[in-house]
A = this chain, B = another copy of it.
């Protein structure tokens, strides 16, 4: 089994980006909106901050209190997103229960929406008219390309149709006219469909849900699930058993996670160049 080293590839992407940034004259700054004090969120933010520093890109955190109301939040977002110094805006998810998430995500101007979670960005993407890809899609694509994995004429199975992983990946495959299957909670025998996958991509956030005996011998397994067990981040795969069957496997952490950070900055760069 070959580990698909997301960390190494993300460093390669970031180094390439650093070169491009040096040659560019655009000033960039990523605004990161953080609600509350969740330690896992803080960890993700720290990774982004480290990368920004390495790239020589501005980085500004906007901390909001845990009990913020939707209206107050949206008003504050207007200031963040219209600030000309902020060329990209990220809202760290999840948001507290009282907040209307999509209303807040839609406050991000499309030309700064590096995460592509607003309705406008989603529309451009679903219509095949976006110049950038949702970070997780860019991450999966980069990984498949880096390891020279042919993904056409393969049996691709996506586990989970969530807004952050499964749905954007499925929409990308639709726009590429590449066949695939989606396994969701209603699927009667998920292990049967998963077992036929040449390329398996999972993003459900259930630690260790997929076992080795569900995996086709030699399959490419991309684990885009992240669950927090205490301070530990786990993927959807039961790593020990899956690694005995898969031909290629992304670890968690060190797989898709760092790649999405790299692709986020790639999006920031692409959007900044368009101005």
A residues contacting B by CB (< 8 A) are 102, 118-127, 129, 152-153, 161, 163, 166-167, 170-171, 173-175, 177-188, 193
Are B178 and A180 interface neighbours, CB within 8 A? Answer: no
Q: How far is the CA of A120 from the CA of B170 in the complex (A)?
A: 19
Closest B residue to A117 by beta carbon equals B127
Of the listed residues A102, A127, A163, A185, the one surrounded by the most CB atoms of chain B closer than 10 A to its CB is A127
Q: How far is the CA of A118 from the CA of B122 in the complex (A)?
A: 12
User: Of B121, B152, B185, which contacts A123 at CB under 8 A?
Assistant: B121
Q: How far is the CA of A177 from the CA of B121 in the complex (A)?
A: 21
Q: How far is the CA of A186 from the CA of B156 in the complex (A)?
A: 11
Residues in chain B near residue A174, CB distance under 8 A: 161, 166-167, 170-171, 182
Q: How far is the CA of A271 from the CA of B3 in the complex (A)?
A: 51
Residues in chain B near residue A120, CB distance under 8 A: 119-120, 123
Residues in chain B near residue A184, CB distance under 8 A: 177-179
Q: How far is the CA of A122 from the CA of B152 in the complex (A)?
A: 26
Instruction: State the Cβ distance, A171 to closest chain B Cβ, in Å.
Output: 7
Residues in chain B near residue A102, CB distance under 8 A: 127, 129
Residues in chain B near residue A179, CB distance under 8 A: 181-184, 186-187, 193
